[in-house]
Amino acid sequence: MEMLKFIDGDAHILEPEEIWRDYLEKKYQHLIKGHVRWVRGPSPGAGGDVPLDGGNGDSLSFELELEVMGQRPLGQRDPNAATRGFQDRDLDELDQAYGKWADQDFPASAYREVMDNYGVDHMILYPTAGFWTTGVAEMDGETATAIRRAYNRWLGDFCREIGRGACGAASIDLRDPAAAAAEVRRCVKEYDFKAVHLNPAPVPGLRLFDQECDVLWETCAELGVPIGLHPSANHNFDAGLLDYLPGLRNCRTTVSFVMGSMLACTAFIMGGVLERHPELKLVFLESGCGWAAFWPDRLEAGIQGGTRRLKIQGLNKTPVEYFQRQCFVAADQDDPGIEDLIDAIGDHVIVGATDFGHPEGRKYFKAKQDLIDLPRVSMESKRKILWDNALRAYPIAAD
C-alpha cells in the first residue's frame, strides 16, 4: 500500500504559566495569570464536561487555571452539574497517551515524537488556555491585542523548538480588527505561521460580518492563511448557552462547538463575507463534519424548501457554492458524517485532525490509520482528507 502523507489540522499546545511573565508587556502582566497542564491526581477539569481524574490519586488529570482581570472567563461553574454519568468513564488510556510528556511539562519534543513516530508530516498548532484569555467583556482592544501577541510570541519560539513540521496558528481577538490584521501579518512574516486562530463567539459590539472586520479578512486572504474557527467550551461570550442549558455541563461543550460552527458559517456566508472576499479560506474545527452536510443547503432552502432557488439578497452564489469554494471542515476519525458530507458537498472540503494534547485527542497515535481504514470511503477521498485538502487550506509546500 502506498504511504499516505498526513497533515494534522488541529493539534493543541499547553500554555505554561511563564508565558505572561516572559512574553507579555509589563504594563499588562497584572491582568492575567494561569496555566494549563497535565498533572497527577484529581482535578476539576477545564470548566468543561468531564471531571478527568480517572478515579485514583495517581491518575492523570487535565488542569486549567485562568484568571483575567479578576474574573474567571471559563463561564459559570455549576456545583450541581449533571456529570455523574461521566465520573466512572474509563480514562486509563490517558496515561498511555500523555503520561510521559505530562511528567515533563509537555515539552516541544512531544510534538516532534508524534510526528516522527505516527506518520504525521505537519501539525497545525492551536491554543488551549488561549480560548478564554480575552473572554472578559470589560477588556479593551489594546489589552486583548497585547495578550494575543504575547501568546503568539511564545508560540513562535515553541514552534522553532519543535522544528520541522510545526505550524503555528496566530491567535487573534476581534475587538480591534486592524490590530488583529497587523498581528496576523507580523506572525506570518516573523514566524511563518500557517493559519489564524479565532474563537467565533462574538466580542462585545462586533459581529463577524460587520464591515469593520473586512481589513482582517482581506489580510488573511492576501497572505493565504485560513481562519481556523475553533469554538470553546463554557466561554462567557457563548450567548444563550447558560440560559438554555444551566447545569448541563455534560453537553455544553458539544453544543457550543457544533452550534458555534454553524452560527459562524451562517455569519460568513449569509453576512456576505465570503462574497466580498472570494480568496478567504475558513476551516471549521473540532465540531465534526455532519452538520456541514445539511447546513449550507438549509441556509438556502429555508423551511419546507420554500426559499430554494430564490436569489439571496447580497449574494451571487448559493450557500453550498460558497462552502464548496472557500470552506473546510475537520472530521473526527469515527465521524459518521463523512460520507454524508462527501455526497452533499464533496470530498475536497474535509481535513483530518487529532486534537493531540487534549483529553479527547488521546487516540492520536492511531488517528491516521483510523482514517485510512474508513469503510465506504474511497482511497482517493482518503488521500484528499489526509493530505491534498490541507495543502489547499494551509500555505504548506508539498514535499
252 touches 83 (CB < 8 A): no
Cα–Cα dist 284/360, whole Å: 17
**pLDDT (0 to 100) of residue 226:** 99
Q: Residues of the chain with pLDDT > 90: what percent?
A: 70
Cα–Cα dist 198/195, whole Å: 10
Burial class (CB in 10 A: 0-12, 13-18, 19+), 106: buried
The single-letter code of the amino acid at 126 is Y
- Decide if pLDDT at 112 tops 60: yes
Q: Strand 60-68 to strand 32-40: parallel, antiparallel, or no bridges (unpaired)?
A: antiparallel
**pLDDT (0 to 100) of residue 115:** 98
Which segment of 79-83, 149-153, 222-226, 368-372 scores lowest on mean pLDDT?
Answer: 79-83
Non-local CB neighbours of 343 within 8 Å, separated by 6+ positions: 293
- Decide if pLDDT at 45 tops 60: no
Cα–Cα dist 194/224, whole Å: 8
What H or E segment, with its residue span, contains residue 381? helix 379-383
259-311: per-residue pLDDT in tens? 999 999 999 999 999 999 999 999 999 999 999 999 999 999 988 888 888 88
162 touches 192 (CB < 8 A): no
Residue 94 — very low, low, confident or very high, per pLDDT cuts 50/70/90?
confident
126-137: per-residue pLDDT in tens? 999 999 999 999
CA angle 54, 234, 102 (to 5 degrees): 35
- Evaluated on CA atoms 109, 65, 55, 362, the torsion sign reads negative
**pLDDT (0 to 100) of residue 2:** 58
Taking alpha carbons only, the member of 105, 186, 103, 189 closest to residue 145 is 186
C-alpha cell of residue 183: 498581528
**pLDDT (0 to 100) of residue 294:** 97
- Decide if pLDDT at 56 tops 60: no
**pLDDT (0 to 100) of residue 202:** 86
Cα–Cα dist 312/95, whole Å: 52
In a 13 Å sphere around the CA of 384, the CA atoms on its Cβ side amount to 14
Which segment of 81-85, 194-198, 221-225, 374-378 scores lowest on mean pLDDT?
Answer: 81-85
**pLDDT (0 to 100) of residue 303:** 80
**pLDDT (0 to 100) of residue 230:** 94
- Decide if pLDDT at 86 tops 80: no
319-370: per-residue pLDDT in tens? 999 999 999 999 999 899 999 999 999 999 999 999 999 988 999 999 999 9
- Decide if pLDDT at 80 tops 50: no
CA 253 to chain centre: 13
Cα–Cα dist 394/167, whole Å: 10
Residue 379 — very low, low, confident or very high, per pLDDT cuts 50/70/90?
very high
CA angle 39, 42, 47 (to 5 degrees): 85
SS (H, E, C) 144-157: HHHHHHHHHHHHHH
Ranges of each domain in the chain: 7-31+107-393
112 touches 48 (CB < 8 A): no
**pLDDT (0 to 100) of residue 249:** 72
What is the average pLDDT score of the chain?
A: 89
Q: 86 or 36, which is more confident?
A: 36
CATH topology classification for 7-31+107-393: TIM Barrel (3.20.20)
**pLDDT (0 to 100) of residue 257:** 87
- Evaluated on CA atoms 243, 244, 250, 255, the torsion sign reads negative
Q: Is residue 178 helix, strand or coil? A: helix
- Decide if pLDDT at 62 tops 50: yes
CA 210 to chain centre: 22
Residue 79 — very low, low, confident or very high, per pLDDT cuts 50/70/90?
very low
**pLDDT (0 to 100) of residue 78:** 36
Cα–Cα dist 381/69, whole Å: 47
- Decide if pLDDT at 386 tops 90: yes
132-187: per-residue pLDDT in tens? 999 999 999 999 999 999 999 999 999 999 999 999 999 999 999 999 999 999 99
